[in-house]
Structure 1
Amino acid sequence: MQTIEPQTLSESQQENKFKTGVLIVNLGTPDSPNTPDVRKYLREFLMDGRVIDIPAIGRWPLVNLIIAPFRSPKSAKIYKELWEDRGSPLKFYGEDVEKMLQDRLGDDYVVKLAMRYQSPSMDEGLEQFRKSGFQKIIVVPFFPQYASASTGSVFEKTMKIMSGWQIIPEIKFTNTFFDHPKFIQHFADTARKYMAETNFEHFLFSYHGLPERQMTKGDCTGNTCKFGSCCDTLHSMNQYCYRAQCFATTRLMVKELGLKEGTYTTSFQSRLGSDPWIKPYTDDVIKDLAKAGTKSVLAFSPAFVSDCLETTIEVGEEYKEIFEEHGGEHWQLVESLNNSPLWVDLLEDLVRKS
């Protein structure tokens, strides 16, 4: 009778046997600020059915024949303003955090940065984990508040990739962290530095906007979402409502900073197209503030963990111009978490609790 020799694991397989892969995922950025790369990025991003949630038969011509061709040259000019020697801030801050978190977690974990759109891709990161035979995989989307178009898209992409694996290890997803003490602390600590220098009259919390229809689709009750006082509290029926989580984020920061009622506003930016998006719109709020005589504003953008086009350019520069054009005098943006040690503290906590 033929005897079967027991197989032995290679040295690398033995080392990886009980390791955990940690995939940290941000939205993405073009590979360069040149128009072809920006067009490529926009096409991948906007063709996601969770981003533009209309049937594919209508989404394809809208994105590929209208939005991407006409918007990419304009966006490329703006990306060139944003670009630094190290490249896109969103990407190089992510690379910094990847190294910092790896050092913090130690040899039992392997941390990989991925982008939902463009590079480094989620496919590459997860494939490395698969080939290494890791015992467990933790996916950490870099979005403080849940939205189908961001966190939901990362979850869907992960499951789509792993659905083709013969062996699927234990997998954990982190969801939201808008209420994590370290998240609130970072923005509050940064804000206090500016508040020590200037007596700001108003505090603006501007979040990325979404179409109202996406809020309605996510309403599990079918009648909770009214785009009004329904977002004044967070409860079991609206706990995953993006708009409600944004208002909750503001309340936590207001409490931490001790701001007085009437001195702050929550608003939403970056709307696209003619369909109604969640309100109030940031640009309208800014105009109203300036016209009412407000001279100084401290602006927050707490939907982002890395400074990017929507923070540095849109909130930091474009909204500043609008404010000054209508009579405002001093506009200051509070920076995102970027590569802050508090951000790494937060991520370590999320991973270890997973």
Structure 2
Amino acid sequence: MELSVSPRFGVLLVNLGTPDSPRVPDVRRYLREFLMDKRVIDIPLLSRWLLVNLIIANFRAPKSAKVYQKVWTQEGSPLKYYGFRTQALLQEALGEEYFVRLAMRYQKPSIKSVLKEFEGKHWEKLIIIPLFPQYASATTGSVKEAVMKELSRWQTIPAVEFVQQFYQHPLFIKAFAELGRKHIEAHPYDHYLFTYHGLPERQIRKADKHNYCLTHANTAEIGCCSSLNAKNSVCYRSQCFATTRLLAKALNLPEGSYSTAFQSRLGKAIWIQPYTEDVVKKLAQEGKKSVLAFSPSFVADCLETTIEVGEEYKELFEEYGGEHWQLVESLNDSPTWIELLRQMVLERTTKPKALDLMLQVIAEEKE
């Protein structure tokens, strides 16, 4: 969308990233950049370098490349395709006062390259939206660090506001509930599974300043995440369980008919539990025949939704006796998702404008 007037506000959307192509060298390059982030693999630099460059990137890249080939389209990676669709639709929804761009934390378009489009212009405010519903140091935290590093080089730094999380926003819940309701109306389900990207338990504990997280009851159960409070409100695991409760309420799901689990483990470390693969096996063994699966930690379809949840867990469910497995698609470019982004931007830019107030003060002094 061409802007005919100078915009007052910059809006930067940031998602995780994707390889340039499903070829092995591009996948390896992506994995190296992603996994060398100290917020993603939080171990000493030398150990991280050896692990990523000598083991993970070399052995995982060929396997991951084959999986990327399954989701790649003529438009490229679904994550990037829907990211640019979202950029265009949000730009249209916000209008000419706003300048909207998409960046990826890893690979292209990079945060550094996209912020060059913003530099040197007279912004009233920059709104940075990491596209992760729940806060984690490895996702939102990493985006914030990368953005602040680039902005620190600017001579004039405008007012900047980050969206910390939006799992609790009514429109986020509405958007996923709308998608899930279409499947529920089309087919009866025995159970509903809400599966989220996992994190190592050590990262949860490192972020906990109250010695509260993962200390109550069996960490494979809900335990300390049964409700949000002052001690766990910034905890990723607690925010995921809260997302499940909000979606279950919006969908009128009976107590006991839904579960929360965590996927995508890497390495031998203990990750937050319960593990999705264990829950899937258990559901089938308990006689559940039909499961509807949500992935509410992702806003666009990608490997972790389409392949891991949509195909691999489906095969596992059927292997243990299940009959019908359905993945709820991600928000992608749904109208409610675009409206959520629009509202989050407007909530941060339609308060009394700093520039307007300054001009008003100057005018009053002249009188």
- TM-score bracket, shorter-length normalisation: over 0.9
Match of 2:264 in 1: 270
Match of 1:322 in 2: 316
Match of 1:83 in 2: 72
Gaps in structure 2 of 5+ consecutive residues: 349-367
Structure 1 residue 68 corresponds to structure 2 residue 62:
no
Structure 1 residue 50 corresponds to structure 2 residue 39:
yes
Q: 1:230 aligns with which of 182, 199, 224?
A: 224
Q: Which amino acid counterpart does residue 254 of structure 2 have in structure 1?
A: K
Does the 8 Å contact 1:219/1:225 carry over to 2? no
Pairing 1:77-226 to 2, within 5 Å after superposition = 77-226=66-215
Rounded Cα–Cα distance in structure 2 between residues aligned with 1:90 and 1:63: 23
> Which has the higher mean CA deviation after the structures are superposed, 319-328 or 158-167?
158-167
Structure 1 residue 257 corresponds to structure 2 residue 251:
yes
Pairing 1:278-293 to 2, within 5 Å after superposition = 278-293=272-287
Rounded Cα–Cα distance in structure 1 between residues aligned with 2:76 and 2:160: 32
Structure 1 residue 299 corresponds to structure 2 residue 288:
no
Q: Which amino acid counterpart does residue 238 of structure 2 have in structure 1?
A: A
Rounded Cα–Cα distance in structure 1 between residues aligned with 2:104 and 2:211: 33
Match of 1:7 in 2: none
Match of 1:11 in 2: none
Identity %: 59
> Which has the higher mean CA deviation after the structures are superposed, 216-225 or 67-76?
216-225
Offset of 1:199 from its aligned partner? 1.1
Structure 1 residue 339 corresponds to structure 2 residue 328:
no
Gaps in structure 1 of 5+ consecutive residues: 1-13
Q: Which amino acid counterpart does residue 167 of structure 2 have in structure 1?
A: F
SS in 2 for 1:196: helix
Rounded Cα–Cα distance in structure 1 between residues aligned with 2:140 and 2:61: 25
Match of 2:355 in 1: none
Does the 8 Å contact 1:136/1:171 carry over to 2? yes
Return the TM-score normalized by structure 1. Answer: 0.94
- Cα RMSD over matched residues? 1.2
Q: Which amino acid counterpart does residue 117 of structure 1 have in structure 2?
A: Y
Rounded Cα–Cα distance in structure 1 between residues aligned with 2:123 and 2:252: 46
1:111-158 deviation digits (Å, cap 9, x = unpaired)? 000000011111111111113332321100000000000000000001
Rounded Cα–Cα distance in structure 2 between residues aligned with 1:68 and 1:112: 30
Q: 1:25 aligns with which of 2, 5, 14?
A: 14
Rounded Cα–Cα distance in structure 1 between residues aligned with 2:169 and 2:250: 12
Q: Which amino acid counterpart does residue 181 of structure 1 have in structure 2?
A: P
Does the 8 Å contact 2:212/2:224 carry over to 1? no
Does the 8 Å contact 1:46/1:52 carry over to 2? yes
Does the 8 Å contact 1:143/1:150 carry over to 2? yes
Give the paired residue count.
340
Give the 3 Å change call, closer, same or farther, for CA 187–223 of structure 1 in structure 2.
Answer: closer
Rounded Cα–Cα distance in structure 1 between residues aligned with 2:175 and 2:46: 43
Q: 1:40 aligns with which of 26, 29, 33?
A: 29
Rounded Cα–Cα distance in structure 1 between residues aligned with 2:5 and 2:254: 55
1:251-299 deviation digits (Å, cap 9, x = unpaired)? 0011111111111110000000001000000001101111111110000
Return the TM-score normalized by structure 2. Answer: 0.91
Offset of 1:223 from its aligned partner? 3.4
Rounded Cα–Cα distance in structure 2 between residues aligned with 1:336 and 1:15: 34
Does the 8 Å contact 2:212/2:232 carry over to 1? no
Pairing 1:5-16 to 2, within 5 Å after superposition = 16=6
Offset of 1:15 from its aligned partner? 5.1
Rounded Cα–Cα distance in structure 1 between residues aligned with 2:212 and 2:130: 29
Q: Which amino acid counterpart does residue 269 of structure 1 have in structure 2?
A: Q
Q: Which amino acid counterpart does residue 301 of structure 2 have in structure 1?
A: D
The structure 1 segments of at least 4 consecutive aligned residues displaced by more than 3 Å after TM superposition are: none
